[in-house]
């Protein structure tokens, strides 16, 4: 390193506040610092600003209806269609501009560009095909697909005919697919024959078929021949209820399907996410509020403009891909990128190669990816010209200041603002982050709530904690992008998100407070640092995994009597799965059982939930009332000092476990 570099590193390390670059502010979609006060003074009408970003078939009567808390409604009486907003309305000016730039994993495969005209054609044909298959308004269609353009097209085709989609991440297991299809009574599945991972074709249809075997009702399936098109298919024969995507669409060439006018409060999609219990939660999002939220935040936080080439490296199987690869960017008429593969294939500069080739203007990724880039070293980004980038974003988990600064310097060349965006599947879109053209940035802190959002950090009694002290993050007022309920489970919706901090007997919406189940602290300037989940949910590489889901997979393995799963610190993944396991009498604590446990977790959930360590133990540390002391197991996993354990029912066991893990 030269002297200049060393000096720069030292300066960066010492700096804890960064102003937005002037060149950015000058061109930012939002740059008026008065916007925070303006929105606060005009709540809830400030949200008309978001609704105005959309085209409505019927204007709404009321911005916010809080008469039946916590079942809040937004833009009531309004009607619109999400696919018309993301596709049709851009045809006049942008028919020949790219809507989707898709990059497959194999470097020798031709990339695909869908102009808005192409997208319009294919979404219409797919919508016609789905209708012919019998899909009607409000029928839930499950999409179990890799990162191929047909996934975005299928979502928009569903939206066009008013059929809510439920996307299941392609990396999830067959069991996970079946659970979600059963929970949503979903009779339609769109999937693919496979995709590429690190150079090899992967048989996805086999997994889908296995999942279908566990679905309790009849289903029609559409299969995209992603691999077959390259002659890499696995040769599965389709059954009578399975249809080839291309064949189906060929029967509807040039079809036009009138977008169905949906009520603002009609469901746009369901997304299953992990919670405290073993049952995944079906988060319900609506057409008006959600779409307005994803469009407004794409505009104000990600600074997306129609002429941009915007790149979010998430998977559409997660909420980030829904809001910030598909709906938000396309609602704004921009070019959104989709990449099928991983950042390290064929080499560790793949992302930077894509940024350079497409002259990407924004990059939105996860801290876990940034930590991996850091570990790999600067030689990979340094090989490429990244000067097209104007803004950088992160999402999914807390980002430590060192990783933030690395991203800012080595990817953004100190000329791009970094937005650290806190939000959740349930919030629909970004909630806490700096506005890149307005607020100073503080590495390690997401920032203030966005204009119109009111967040407080409370203690267990509901009192605000002092700046700098840890407490519970709460959101004081409803917002348009919020989930409306958990599918077919209003009671759990109230219990999970509202009961903690609301007066649940009140019918005044002001008495209701949303609890995201995260810990946080706030500083003197109102900047919030989100500390992580306070429920039994792990964040592994930015993916939400319920400890209960993993535990129930483990106790399903023959020879296992009891299991406790906790998160241990991991320098790239953020958190890693640690499984403490008690065997049944007569079973050996051996490698064979360990492998069976790992396989059991992969079958029930998917490889992302794979335990980093399986620790056999004769007992689990429990309180006198019989609760497993997860915090203690976590401390053991993290090699920390355990403090006083005398209140436990079985304090001796803790030392035994500690020795077997920490040595
Ligand atoms: C969008 C998404 C939500 C949970 C959330 C929190 C964590 C997300 C974060 C963050 C700190 C950030 N989280 N963004 N923590 N800083 N910028 O990730 O949704 O998969 O539902 O996860 O992720 O713990 O509660 P989801």
- The three-state (H, E, C) secondary structure of 261-310, written as one string: CEECCCEEEEEEECCCCCCCEEEEEEHHHHHHHHHHHHHHCCCCCCCCEE
Distances (CA, A) of 262 to 60, 155, 184, 359: 12, 15, 20, 37
Q: Whose CA is nearest to atom 3 of ligand 1?
A: 424
Ligand 1 neighbourhood includes 323 CB (under 6 angstroms): no
Dihedral sign, Cα of residue 394, residue 400, residue 401, residue 407: negative
Which atom of ligand 1 is found nearest the CA of 542? Answer: 18
Q: Is residue 433 lining ligand 1, measured as CB closer than 6 Å?
A: no
143 bridge partner residues: 167, 190
Question: What are the boundaries of each domain within the chain?
Answer: 455-530, 536-662
Whether the CB of 516 sits within 6 Å of ligand 1: yes
Check for a shared fold between 455-530 and 536-662.
no
**pLDDT score recorded for residue 3:** 65
Instruction: For residue 582, give the 3-state DSSP assignment.
Output: strand
Mean pLDDT over 422-428 rounds to 98
What pLDDT is stored for residue 10 in this prediction?
A: 83
Residue 471 has a pLDDT of 94
Higher pLDDT, 622 or 182: 182
Pocket of ligand 1 contains residue 297 by CB under 6 Å: no
Mean pLDDT of all residues in the chain?
95
Q: Whose CA is nearest to atom 15 of ligand 1?
A: 397
Structure tokens at 514: 């949303």
**Residue 226 in contact with residue 194, Cβ under 8 Å?**
yes
Q: What's the rounded mean pLDDT across residues 544-568?
A: 92
Is-cis flag, bond preceding 346, omega within 30?
A: yes
Q: Rounded to the nearest whole angstrom, what is the distance from the C-alpha of residue 423 to the centroid of ligand 1? A: 5
pLDDT, tens digit, 9 for 90 and up, residues 487-526:
999 999 999 999 999 999 999 999 999 999 999 999 999 9
Does 647 have pLDDT greater than 80? no
pTM (2 decimals)?
Answer: 0.93
Residue 373, Cβ neighbours under 10 Å: how many?
A: 25
Q: Two tokens at 59?
A: 């204007």
The model's confidence at residue 534, banded by pLDDT at 50, 70 and 90, is: confident
pLDDT of residue 12: 85
Residue pair 88/120 in contact (Cβ under 8 Å)? The answer is yes
Nearest atom in ligand 1 to 425's CA: 21
| Cα 393 to middle of ligand 1, angstroms | 13
CA distance 614 to 255: 54
Atom of ligand 1 nearest to the CA of 446: 17
| pLDDT beyond 60 at 2 | no
Compute, in angstroms, the gap from residue 247 CA to the centroid of ligand 1: 40
> Does 574 contact ligand 1 (Cβ within 6 A)?
no
**pLDDT score recorded for residue 362:** 98
Quote the ligand 1 centre to 396 CA distance (angstroms): 4
Q: Select from 100, 96, 101 the least CA-distant residue to 117.
A: 96
Q: What's the 432 CA to ligand 1 centre distance in angstroms?
A: 10
Q: Is 532 in the pocket of ligand 1 (CB under 6 A)?
A: yes
Nearest residue (by CA) to ligand 1, atom 22, is 424
Please say if the pLDDT value at position 366 is more than 50.
yes
Residue 370 Cβ inside 6 Å of ligand 1? The answer reads: no
Ligand 1 in reach of 425 Cβ (< 6 A) = yes
- Check pocket membership of 533 for ligand 1, CB cut-off 6 A: yes
- How far is ligand 1, taken at its centre, from the CA of residue 474, in Å? 14
Cβ atoms of 39 and 32 closer than 8 Å: no
pLDDT digits (tens, 9 = 90+) for 217-262: 999 999 999 999 999 999 999 999 999 999 999 999 999 999 999 9
Whether ligand 1 lies within 6 angstroms of the CB of 356 is answered as no
Of all protein residues, whose CA lies closest to atom 19 belonging to ligand 1?
424
Is 328's C-beta closer than 6 angstroms to any atom of ligand 1?
no
146 lines ligand 1 (CB under 6 A): no
CA of 65 to the centre of ligand 1 (A): 27
Q: How many residues make up the chain in this entry?
A: 663
Is residue 322 within 6 Å of ligand 1 at its C-beta? no
573 lines ligand 1 (CB under 6 A): no
Report the atom number in ligand 1 closest to the C-alpha of 320: 1
Among 400, 530, 532, 547, say which to mutate for ligand 1: greatest number of ligand atoms within 8 Å of CB. 530
Best probe residue, ligand 1, of 283, 424, 521 (max atoms within 8 Å of C-beta): 424
Q: Where are the alpha helices (DSSP H) in 53-203?
A: 82-86, 91-94, 116-132, 149-160, 174-183
What is the whole-number distance in angstroms between the Cα of residue 6 and the centre of ligand 1?
34
Distance between Cα 267 and ligand 1 center (Å): 23
Q: Residue of the nearest CA to atom 2 in ligand 1?
A: 424
Atom of ligand 1 nearest to the CA of 532: 24
Distance (Å, rounded) from C-alpha 455 to C-alpha 515? 10
CATH 2.30.38.10 fits 455-530, yes or no: yes
Q: Give the pLDDT mean for 548-568.
A: 92
pLDDT tens digits, one per residue of 26-81: 999 999 999 999 999 999 999 999 999 999 999 999 999 999 999 999 999 999 99
What is the 605 CA–ligand 1 centroid distance (Å)? Answer: 20
Residue nearest to atom 8 of ligand 1 (CA): 396
Q: Is 483 in the pocket of ligand 1 (CB under 6 A)?
A: no
Atom number in ligand 1 closest to CA 426: 21
| pLDDT higher than 70, residue 4 | no
Residue 424 Cα to ligand 1 middle (Å)? 5
* Atom 16 (ligand 1) nearest CA: 398
Instruction: Among 396, 434, 541, name the best residue to mutate to test ligand 1's pocket (greatest count of ligand atoms within 8 A of Cβ).
Output: 396
640, 644, 635, 653: which is closest to 567 by C-alpha? 635
* CATH of span 536-662: 3.30.300.30
Tokens of 520: 């946080």
Atom of ligand 1 nearest to the CA of 394: 17
CA distance 559 to 459: 42
Q: What is the Rg, in whole angstroms, of the alpha carbon atoms belonging to the chain? A: 25
């Amino acid at each position: 390193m030269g002297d200049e570099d060393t000096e720069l590193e030292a300066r960066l390390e010492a700096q804890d506040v960064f102003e937005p670059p002037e060149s950015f502010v000058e061109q930012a979609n939002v740059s008026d610092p008065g916007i925070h006060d303006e929105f606060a003074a005009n709540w809830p009408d400030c949200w008309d600003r978001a609704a105005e970003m959309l085209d409505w078939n019927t204007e709404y009567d009321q911005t916010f209806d809080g008469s039946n808390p916590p079942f809040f409604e937004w833009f009531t009486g309004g009607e619109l269609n999400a696919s018309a907003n993301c596709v049709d309305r851009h045809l006049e000016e942008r028919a020949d501009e790219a809507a989707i730039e898709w990059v497959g994993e194999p470097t020798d495969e031709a990339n695909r560009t869908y102009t808005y005209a192409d997208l319009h054609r294919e979404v219409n044909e797919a919508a016609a095909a789905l209708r012919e298959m019998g899909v009607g308004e409000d029928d839930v269609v499950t999409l179990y697909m890799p990162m191929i353009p047909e996934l975005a097209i299928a979502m928009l085709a569903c939206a066009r005919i008013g059929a809510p989609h439920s996307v299941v991440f392609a990396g999830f297991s067959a069991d996970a697919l079946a659970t979600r299809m059963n929970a949503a009574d979903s009779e339609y599945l769109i999937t693919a024959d496979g995709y590429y991972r690190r150079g090899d074709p992967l048989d996805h249809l086999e997994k889908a078929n296995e999942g279908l075997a566990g679905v309790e009702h009849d289903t029609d399936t559409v299969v995209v021949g992603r691999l077959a098109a390259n002659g890499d298919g696995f040769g599965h024969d389709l059954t009578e209820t399975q249809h080839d995507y291309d064949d189906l669409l060929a029967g509807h060439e040039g079809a036009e399907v009138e977008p169905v006018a949906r009520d603002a409060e009609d469901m746009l999609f369901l997304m299953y996410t992990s919670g405290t219990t073993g049952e995944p939660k079906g988060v319900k999002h609506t057409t008006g509020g959600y779409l307005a939220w994803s469009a407004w935040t794409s505009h104000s936080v990600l600074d997306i403009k129609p002429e941009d080439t915007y790149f979010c490296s998430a998977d559409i199987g997660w909420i980030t891909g829904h809001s910030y690869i598909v709906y938000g960017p396309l609602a704004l008429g921009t070019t959104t990128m989709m990449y099928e593969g991983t950042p390290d294939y064929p080499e560790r500069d793949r992302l930077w190669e894509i940024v350079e080739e497409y002259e990407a203007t924004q990059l939105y990724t996860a801290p876990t990816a940034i930590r991996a880039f850091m570990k790999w070293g600067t030689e990979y980004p340094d090989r490429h010209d990244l000067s097209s980038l104007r803004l950088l974003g992160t999402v999914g988990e807390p980002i430590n200041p060192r990783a933030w600064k690395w991203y800012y310097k080595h990817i953004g060349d100190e000329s791009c603002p970094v937005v650290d965006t806190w939000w959740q599947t349930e919030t629909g879109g970004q909630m806490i982050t700096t506005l890149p053209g307005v607020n100073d940035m503080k590495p390690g802190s997401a920032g203030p709530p966005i204009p119109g959002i009111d967040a407080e950090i409370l203690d267990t009694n509901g009192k605000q904690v002092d700046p700098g002290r840890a407490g519970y993050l709460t959101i004081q007022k409803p917002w348009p992008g919020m989930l409306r309920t958990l599918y077919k489970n209003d009671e759990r919706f109230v219990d999970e998100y509202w009961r903690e901090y609301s007066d649940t007997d009140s019918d005044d919406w002001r008495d209701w407070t949303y609890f995201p189940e995260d810990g946080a602290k706030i500083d003197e300037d109102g900047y919030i640092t989100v500390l992580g989940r306070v429920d039994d949910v792990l964040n592994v590489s930015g993916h939400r995994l319920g400890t209960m889901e993993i535990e129930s997979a483990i106790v399903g393995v023959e020879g296992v009597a009891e299991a406790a799963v906790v998160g241990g610190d991991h320098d790239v993944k953020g958190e890693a799965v640690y499984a403490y396991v008690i065997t049944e009498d007569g079973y050996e604590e051996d490698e064979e059982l360990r492998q069976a446990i790992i396989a059991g977790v992969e079958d029930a959930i998917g490889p992302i939930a794979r335990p980093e360590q399986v620790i056999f133990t004769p007992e689990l540390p429990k309180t006198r009332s019989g609760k497993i002391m997860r915090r203690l197991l976590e401390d053991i996993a993290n090699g920390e000092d355990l403090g006083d354990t005398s209140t436990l029912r079985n304090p001796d066991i803790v030392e035994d476990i500690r020795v077997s893990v920490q040595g």
